[in-house]
Amino acid sequence: MSFEEELYRENIMEHYRHPHNRGALSDATFKGVGKNANCGDNLIFSVRLDKTGEIVEEVTFQGDGCAISLAGASLFTDKLKGMKLSEVKLMAPGIMYSLLGVPISHTRTRCALLPYEALSDGITKYGK
Amino acid sequence: MFDIKKIKADFPIFKASKEATLHYLDSAASSQTPECVISAMDEYYRNFRSNVHRGAYALSEKASESYEGARATVAGFVGANQNEIVFTAGATASVNMLAYSFEQSLDLKEGDEIVVSIMEHHAMLLPLQELARRKKLNLKYINVDENYRLDYKSVESLITERTKIVGITLASNVTGAINDVSYISQIVRKMGALVVVDATAAMGHIPVSVKELDCDAMFFSGHKMCGPTGIGALYINGELGEKLNPSFFGGGIVTDVDLEKAEFVSAPEKFEAGTPNISGAIGIAEAVKYLTEVGLENIKKHTEELTSYTIEKLKEIDGVKIFAEQDVEKNVGIVSFTVEGAHPHDVIEFLGRDNVAVRGGHHCALPFVKTLGVPATVRASIYLYNTKEDIDALVSSVKKAQEFFKK
Ligand SMILES: Cc1ncc(COP(=O)(O)O)c(C=O)c1O
């Protein structure tokens, strides 16, 4: 398999070029930031919970990054919508690898985990 | 004569890479090691391994002689006296140690100033930034102009009587620019501050003389100049060396110890507590001999030609933006760039698959890269073993990456 097919699968490139859920969220319940120490890229995740405070109603992300982190953010926000907050809290970082579904090398781990870090930061700050 | 075939053959790594040719354009992160350096260290481990200074048997004599001989070689390379060279674990270790020594031994008062250039690598910047924070000093920056060169005109007014320390890199590890450090020291001298020079990116590329730079301290790492990892040298001017207290304590640095305190030996030993990196010192000295034999002028001329070629070829690609010192005579062989529409991490991943080894990121110089107005760059760095083929491979791979991400 060629390298393009391996890491930059059509699916990843599609999410990179046309990311879902990108933008600001004015009525967010909480926000979190992920910083990639290797390149200075930042992602901000904004999450709005429903009236019960138990379900993720809306989630968006802002910021710039490489194909892996942006595609990851797009896929991850899709996944989060409609989830119970209690379930979200149980998710391990490994979820990012499953969502991306492509082999991630050691140097790209930071890129792959960036969306997860942004969300975790928000959850920690929210504290509930 | 500079024979590239012969030079390349001095480096085992280029024989080791099997099917594909290794296009190593990451020497600014860490250079490759010539066979002679590996053998010199191997020789120590096989034939005279023992600790230095405190054994009266033949092996230890030989180890001590080699270690002190290494110090003399490195001192000679930068025009310093032997007692002015301290072996450290590298550039980062050097500045941290120095900053703590400054804190203990200099009379630093709240509101005093440290001046650094915006180009500094975090190795210089962070220890001084932390020192400034601890002692409530003002940290001021020498900025760059539109060509990413230091704004020399601002220096005179930045340095005041309150300036105590000036930290300046001899060459930028992002743009390759060689700074006119002696011009700055001449201004600093009038105000009586100390000049600390980061020679890490410049060493092994251009001749360096502590006398010409007129600095009080200077540091560099072995691994960026054909030497091993884990060793570096810190030059501390003789007078300053007497004045500074060590900031790292342990065996081998005292004349007397009682229950409350210790008396220290003189420099450089007082700055080298514990068993030193003996093989590392032997390795860095061998690297110095190797570089001297090839000739720094020859190396500079060679990297200059290739830097020129790199800039020229990259400029031909639409959407590539170059961040490098374009006057190649004043560049240590570093060309940073960005590719429109593709993130540096994605570009270097592409290049990596083509066996083109470059680095992407902020190169541990975040304030500088932010000044350039980009989050990160791709950096190609050139050294004595590189060839036009390496650059051609880089350029063709960049084009491929651009094509892919443009789709
Ligand atoms: C200009 C400069 N200074 C300091 C350093 C730090 O060197 P080391 O990591 O060997 O301590 C580097 C290495 O990246 C550098 O390029």
Q: What ipTM goes with this model?
A: 0.78
Is residue B357 within 8 A of residue B24, CB to CB? The reply is yes
Chains A, B: CB contacts under 8 A, how many?
44
Residues of chain B with pLDDT under 70: 17-19, 407
Rounded distance, CA B98 to CA B90, Å? 12
What lies within 8 Å, CB to CB, of B264 at 6+ separation is B245, B246, B253, B254, B255, B270
Q: How far is the CA of A91 from the centre of ligand 1 (A)?
A: 38
Which domain does A14 fall in, by range? 3-126
Measured between alpha carbons, how far is B300 from B231 in angstroms, rounded to an integer? 24
pLDDT confidence of residue A31: 97
Closest B-chain CA to A7: B349
Q: List the strands of the sheet with B232-236, edge to edge.
A: B85-88, B232-236, B217-221, B194-198, B163-169, B113-117, B138-142
Q: What span, in angstroms and rounded, lies between the C-alpha atoms of A38 and A108?
A: 10
Query: Which residues of chain B are in CATH 3.90.1150.10 domains?
Result: 4-30+295-406
Of the candidates A3, A67, A105, the beta carbon closest to that of B343 is on A67
* Residue B407 CB coordination number (10 Å): 7
- Phi and psi at residue B187, in whole multiples of 5°? -75, -40
The pLDDT tens digits of the residues spanning B230-239 come to: 999 999 999 9
Residues of B known to be catalytic: 364
Indicate if the alpha-carbon torsion angle B122, B127, B129, B133 is positive or negative.
positive
Q: Per the confidence metrics, is the pTM higher than 0.90?
A: yes
Put simply, whether A102 touches B (Cβ < 8 Å) is no
Q: Which pLDDT tens digit goes with each residue over B84-122?
A: 999 999 999 999 999 999 999 999 999 999 999 999 999
For chain A, helix (H) and strand (E) counts, in that order, are: 6, 3
Sign, Cα dihedral of B98, B101, B106, B108: positive
> Selecting from 3.40.920.10, 1.10.10.10, 3.40.50.300, 3.40.640.10, what CATH number does the domain B38-292 have?
3.40.640.10
What architecture is the B4-30+295-406 domain classified under in CATH? Alpha-Beta Complex (3.90)
CATH number of A115's domain:
3.90.1010.10
Q: Residue B406: its pLDDT value, please?
A: 81
Which residue of B346, B347, B364, B402 is the best one to mutate when testing the A interface, meaning the one whose CB has the most A CBs within 10 A?
B346
Give residue ranges with CB within 6 A of ligand 1: B 90-92, 121, 123, 169, 173, 198, 200-201, 221, 364
Question: What distances in angstroms separate CA A19 from CA A64, A66, B114, B126, one per listed residue?
Answer: 11, 12, 45, 37
- pLDDT for A78 beyond 90: yes
Query: To the nearest 5 percent, what fractions of chain A are helix, strand and coil?
Result: 45, 20, 35
Q: How far is B225 from chain A (nearest CA, A)?
A: 24
A50 min Cα distance to partner chain B (Å): 35
Q: pLDDT tens digits for B373-398?
A: 998 999 999 999 999 999 999 999 99
Q: Give chain A's domain count.
A: 1
Residue ranges, comma separated, of all CATH 3.40.640.10 domains in chain B are 38-292
Residue A68 at interface with chain B, using a CB cutoff of 8 Å: yes
Count of C-beta atoms within a 10 Å radius of residue B364:
18
Q: Which of B349, B355, B359 to mutate to test the interface with A (most CBs of A within 10 A)?
A: B349
